[in-house]
Structures are given as C-alpha cells and as structure tokens.
Structure 1
Amino acid sequence: MKFKTTPYHLDLLKDEDRLSAFFEAISEYDGNTDLAYDLGCGSGVLSYFLKDKFDEIISIEINKKTYDCAKDNLAVFDNIEVVNSDVLEYEFTKKADLIVCEMLDTALIDEEEVPILNHVRKFLKKNGKIIPQGIINTAELVNLERHNIHWDEGVNYEVFSKPLVFCELDFLDEINPEVEVDMSLKATKEGLINGLKITSFTKLNDNLIVGPLPMLNPPLLIPLDEKEIKVNDLINVNLKYIMGNGIESIQTQYY
C-alpha cells in the first residue's frame, strides 16, 4: 500500500528495520482484540498493521497535515476511526485492549511518551497491553568533538567505558517524568573525557528488544566538564532530565 506522508513521516517509513520491528510486535500480540488506540498515529502505518487484528481502532493525531494523510491512507478500513486531536484533550469513553504509542525519543526526553501514557493508562483494560512495552537506557563516558547536546549521527567521538544501565521503564507502570540518577562509570582506558553517551533500547514485547535505529532513538551525546582519567577510575556523574520536556531539561555534573 502506498502511503501519503509528510516529509518527516516519509523518513520514518524509509527506516525498514523500525517498521519491521513494530510489525513483528503487533503480529505477535495475542490479547483481546475489541479495541486498540494508536496514539500519535502519524501517517497511520501502525494502525494499518493493526487493521486485521482488531474490531475497532481509534487513531489520534494532533498535527492537521499529518492527520489528513492518515485519514486518506486509512479511509478504506471501516474499523479505523482517525481523529484530529491532542491526546491529552481527547475524551476517551472506552477502555482498550491495546495501546500503541510510538512517541519515542532517546531516554524519552524530547517526546511526550511518558506524559501521554500517564494520562491514558487508565483507559487500558485490566489485562491490556502497551506497544512498545518499555525502554532501557544506558550511559557511557565519551570524548566529544562538539560541546553541545547532539545526536550521534555523522559525528565522531571516543568511548571510555562500558555501557551502564541507569534506567529501565515498564510502560504499564505510572512513571515519574522527573529523572535524577547518580552513576559510577568505570573507565576502560586512559584519556580525556568530556561527555556522556545515552543509548535507549526499546522493549516492544517480552521477546523483542530493538537498539538504536536511524529513525528510532539515535544515541544522545551530552557534554560534561573535561576530566583526565586513568584505566579503572570510577567516574561519578549525576544526570537529571524531565521526560517530555526536551533536551533543555538535561543537567549533568560530577559528584
């Protein structure tokens, strides 16, 4: 099927690994199939994947141009209703068996996945499921060429520690969007560090975890003050941010 899209959503559709992962997760869904919500449905491709499984799908998109694309793309399917609304303002009247919400970004900092799910989770049935199911975040010490917060696409950096898992979230749980973690990262080589690399792994279901992809959570590089380190040094870093409040909310310091 050919999809009408905005330029941004065309890039999402071109990321075949991302699409394949979500298609697999939806295909493996084995719960009840009365109603699914697709929150922030974009061009409607995930609703398209859901169409043969569910009696009813409500797909919500806030952006009018993107909504128009989804409305056209899904018009032939009688079991899909496409709504132009902010999810936080939409009047939910029914509980769903499945919520699909792909408002993802590295560590969930720059997208509204957590605020949206905290709002909508009460409209999920008792044994309902969410796709994706959760996220795992890791941190590494790095030396950066650039001294501002940026993603790792097309930039050079050197890694000075093994990944440390600092946060694991299950989207079925109520989540505090304010994150503050103290991390002790062990240096694996000698040199100068001046940043953190944050990597997110998306848990789509119990059997499927997806690492960073071009259009799914590319690693985030965050500056730190410069520090000379030696092998096996423990570097203590405090990291703060607010999920859904953007990269401007990020704060780091040694302790």
Structure 2
Amino acid sequence: MQLFTTPYHYNLLSDYERLSAFFYAIQENSKGIVYDIGTGSGVLSIFASPYAKKVYAIELNQNASLCALENFKSYPNIQLISGDAKNIEFREKADLIICEMLDTALIDEEQIPVIKNMSQYLKKNGKIIPYKILTGIEPVSMKAEHICYENEELPYQEVLGDLQIYNEINFIKEIKENLNVDLQIKINKKGTFSGVKLTSFTLLTQDMVCGPTPMMNPPMFIPTSKINVEKNNKIRINLKYQMGGGLDSIRIKAKKIFK
C-alpha cells in the first residue's frame, strides 16, 4: 500500500508492530458507522473501510488532511472531516471509535479530552480502539536531568526495582484527567535512585496487547532528587499530572522511607 503522507506520519507507518496490531483490531471490530479520530494519513480508516458502512475520518492538521484526501480517492465510504474532534457535533452515533492519539501515560497527547467528547457519539454497545491503557512505574538511576523518552541515543538508565502498575484507563468508562497518586516502591539493588521510568501498555481490544513500540508510547523517564539506596529500601513517590495536559503538568516528589 502506497500512501501520501507527512514526514511524521511516514515514521508512524514505518512502525510495523503498531500498524499490524491496529490492523487486526480494526478488522475484527469494524462495522456500521466508524469514526477515526486524528486520522493522519488515513491508514486506519482504510483498514476499516471494507467492513464498515461509513467511515468518518477526522483530522485537524491541514497538511495531513490533504494527504488523507488523496489516499481516500479509492474508498467511497470514507468521508474526511477537517477540524478539532473536541468541537465537532456529529449527526450519527458510532459502532466503533478509533482514536490513536496516544502517548506514554496519556500525558502529552489529547487522547483523553477527545475521547471524553466523543463518548457521547458512541452507541450503547459500541466499542473504542484502543480499549484500555495500563501504565507502570519503575525506580531508576538516570543521568539525564530532564524528562525524556527512551531511544538509542539516551544515556544508559539502570532499573533499580520491579515494574508496578499504578494507573488503568478504560476508554469506555468515565475518565478523570487529573492524576494524583502516592506510591511505595521497593528497591532491589544498591545504587543512586534519581528518577522513575513510566511504561504504558495498550490493550487494543480485551485480548490484544501492543506496545510500547518505537512510535507508540516509548517509555518515559522523569528525574527526581538523588537518593542513595540499598537493596530492600523503600521509596515513597507522589506523582501528579494531567492526562492531555502536556509534560509541563508533571510533578513528582520522592523520599526514602526510614523504619
């Protein structure tokens, strides 16, 4: 499949693990009326087209919209709508809503604000892809002193403890955008605790898990104050952020528990 695309969406299309997972989830769940929010190049709408009566593809970015319009020429049941999905009033209710505006812990993309608006247009037994997001936290020793994502150029980060799931978002249910959680994390090895690693796992359907992948929810590192730790020490973490509020909304405090 050859598609017109922006440079950013070209990178998304190159993430084959992400793309194939969405393909199978959409293939299994598409029917009737489908909304594809943040369609980008339109590839997810194209996946849904053979199984849906009508696909509404919504895109805010003008350059991406122009690419999608070209890509939809051979798909008469796909209609492009240019605009912000948070502000559009739709006339039909959906059997399926696809919204891949994901980011680690749902912090730096507008997945949550968009889904909260779109849920009113979902039929009673309608479905949303993705179905759920799980986010976990690990204590780390990190060199970077700023929030960053995992990539090949990032200095080595040493994980000091086990992954602990602290947040579970089911997109069908009511969602609170502001998170404020107190956690107690056990240290498994001696070192310098200086940050946390957040990892999000995407359940596209109830039985299909994907990610993180290079272009979907790469792990995020958040620095904290430095604390010398020994094996079996415990760290108390207070983590706050707004889902959809951007990286500037992140606040974190950490201290060793003395007993």
Q: Secondary structure at the match of 1:52?
A: helix
Distance, in Å, in 1 between the alignment partners of 2:249 and 2:164 is: 21
Distance, in Å, in 1 between the alignment partners of 2:204 and 2:75 is: 25
**Alignment match, 1:197:** 197
1:108-123, aligned counterparts within 5 Å? 108-123=106-121
Residue identity matched to 2:72: L
**Alignment match, 1:3:** 3
Residue identity matched to 1:34: G
- TM-score (norm. length: structure 1): 0.98
**Alignment match, 2:85:** 87
Distance, in Å, in 2 between the alignment partners of 1:227 and 1:195 is: 9
**Deviates further, 122-131 or 85-94:** 85-94
**Alignment match, 2:160:** 160
Distance, in Å, in 2 between the alignment partners of 1:174 and 1:75 is: 37
Q: Secondary structure at the match of 2:50?
A: coil
Distance, in Å, in 2 between the alignment partners of 1:152 and 1:78 is: 40
Residue identity matched to 2:197: K
1:46-195, aligned counterparts within 5 Å? 46-154=44-152, 155=154, 156-195=156-195
| 1:248 CA drift (Å) | 0.6
CA contact (8 A) 2:115 2:171 kept: yes
5+ residue gaps, structure 1: none
| 1:210 CA drift (Å) | 1.1
Distance, in Å, in 1 between the alignment partners of 2:89 and 2:133 is: 28
- RMSD over equivalenced CA pairs, Å: 0.9
Residue identity matched to 1:232: N
Residue identity matched to 2:15: D
Distance, in Å, in 1 between the alignment partners of 2:235 and 2:4 is: 49
Residue identity matched to 2:236: N
> How many pairs were matched up?
253
Q: Secondary structure at the match of 2:119?
A: helix
| 1:78 CA drift (Å) | 1.1
- TM-score (norm. length: structure 2): 0.96
Runs of 4+ in 1 over 3 A off after TM superposition: none
| 1:12 CA drift (Å) | 0.2
Distance, in Å, in 2 between the alignment partners of 1:71 and 1:82 is: 7
1:148-181 per-position Cα deviation (integer Å, ceiling 9, x unaligned): 0000112110000000000011000111110111
Residue identity matched to 1:220: M
Distance, in Å, in 2 between the alignment partners of 1:91 and 1:139 is: 37
1:24-66 per-position Cα deviation (integer Å, ceiling 9, x unaligned): 111222x7x2200000000000001001110000000000000
1:5-44, aligned counterparts within 5 Å? 5-29=5-29, 33-44=31-42
